[in-house]
Structure 1
Amino acid sequence: MNDKQRLWLLLVAVLIIALFLLLEPILTPFLVAGLLAYLGDPFADRLEARGMGRTVAVTLVFSALILLLITAVVLTIPLIGRQLDLLAHAIPQWLEQLQLTLIPWLQKTLELPQGSLPIAEFKTAISNNWVTAGSMLGQLWGKIAGSSLAMIAGLANLVLIPVVTFYLLRDWDTLMSHIRDLLPRSIEPTVVKLTNECDEIIGAFIRGQLLVMLALGILYSVGLGFVGLDLALILGLIAGLASIVPYMGFFVGIAAASVAAWFQFHELMPLIGVALVFAVGQLLEGMVLTPLLVGDRIGLHPVAVIFAIMAGGQLAGFSGILLALPAAAIIMVLLRHAHRSYKDSAVYTAKD
Structure 2
Amino acid sequence: MLFTPTQKRAAAWALMALLALGLLRALGPVLTPFVVGAVLAYALTPLVDRLDRAGRGRLPRVLAVVVVQLLVIVVLAGLVLLIVPVLVKELPLMREQLPTLFDRIDGTLRPWLAQFGIHVAFDVDSLKAQMLRYLQGNYEDFASRLMSSLKVGGSLAFALLFNVLLIPVALFYLLLDWDSFVHRILELVPPRNRPAVDSFTHEADQVLGQYLRGQLLVMITMAVFYSVGLALFGLDLALPIGVFTGLAMFVPYLGFGIGLALALVAGLLQFASAKALVMVAVVYGLGQLVEGFYFTPRFVGERIGLHPLAVIFALLAFAQLFGFVGVLVALPASAVLLVAIRRVRSGYMASRLYQSG
TM-score higher than 0.5 here?
yes
Question: In the aligned structure 1, how far is the partner of 2:40 from the partner of 2:92?
Answer: 32
- For 2:116, the equivalent position in structure 1 comes to 110
Is 1:306 aligned with 2:312?
A: yes
Count of equivalent residues = 348
- For 2:79, the equivalent position in structure 1 comes to 72
CA contact (8 A) 1:96 1:123 kept: no
CA contact (8 A) 1:80 1:233 kept: no
Which runs of structure 2 are paired with 1:218-237 in the superposition (5 Å)?
218-233=224-239, 235-237=241-243
In structure 2, what residue type is equivalent to 1:225?
A: A
Distance 1:35 1:84, change over 3 A: farther
Is 1:59 aligned with 2:63?
A: no
**1:37 deviation in Å?**
0.9
Question: In the aligned structure 1, how far is the partner of 2:303 from the partner of 2:180?
Answer: 28
Question: In the aligned structure 2, how far is the partner of 1:174 from the partner of 1:79?
Answer: 44
CA contact (8 A) 2:210 2:300 kept: yes
**1:214 deviation in Å?**
3.0
CA contact (8 A) 2:86 2:237 kept: no
Is 1:156 aligned with 2:162?
A: yes
CA contact (8 A) 1:99 1:120 kept: no
In structure 1, what residue type is equivalent to 2:40?
A: L
In structure 2, what residue type is equivalent to 1:21?
A: R
Which runs of structure 2 are paired with 1:1-352 in the superposition (5 Å)?
2-50=6-54, 51-52=56-57, 53-83=60-90, 86-87=93-94, 90-106=97-113, 108-113=114-119, 115=121, 117-127=122-132, 139-144=145-150, 152-233=158-239, 235-237=241-243, 239-241=245-247, 243-244=249-250, 257=263, 260-261=266-267, 264-265=270-271, 277-278=283-284, 281-282=287-288, 285=291, 289-350=295-356
**1:318 deviation in Å?**
0.9
Larger CA deviation: 319-328 vs 232-241: 232-241
Question: In the aligned structure 1, how far is the partner of 2:226 from the partner of 2:38?
Answer: 30
CA contact (8 A) 1:245 1:302 kept: no
Consecutive unaligned residues of structure 1, counting only runs of 5 or more, are none
**1:269 deviation in Å?**
6.5
**1:127 deviation in Å?**
4.8
CA contact (8 A) 1:208 1:294 kept: yes
Which TM-score applies when normalising by structure 2? 0.81
Secondary structure of the 2:345 match is: helix
Distance 1:84 1:8, change over 3 A: farther
RMSD between aligned alpha carbons?
3.6
Question: In the aligned structure 1, how far is the partner of 2:144 from the partner of 2:228?
Answer: 32
CA contact (8 A) 1:83 1:234 kept: no
Q: Deviations over 1:222-261 (max 9, x none)?
A: 4313422234245424532564477887787667646754
Secondary structure of the 1:299 match is: coil
Question: In the aligned structure 1, how far is the partner of 2:76 from the partner of 2:269?
Answer: 34
Which TM-score applies when normalising by structure 1? 0.82
**1:296 deviation in Å?**
3.1
Secondary structure of the 2:192 match is: coil
Q: Deviations over 1:29-82 (max 9, x none)?
A: 111111111111111222334424433332322222222222222222222343
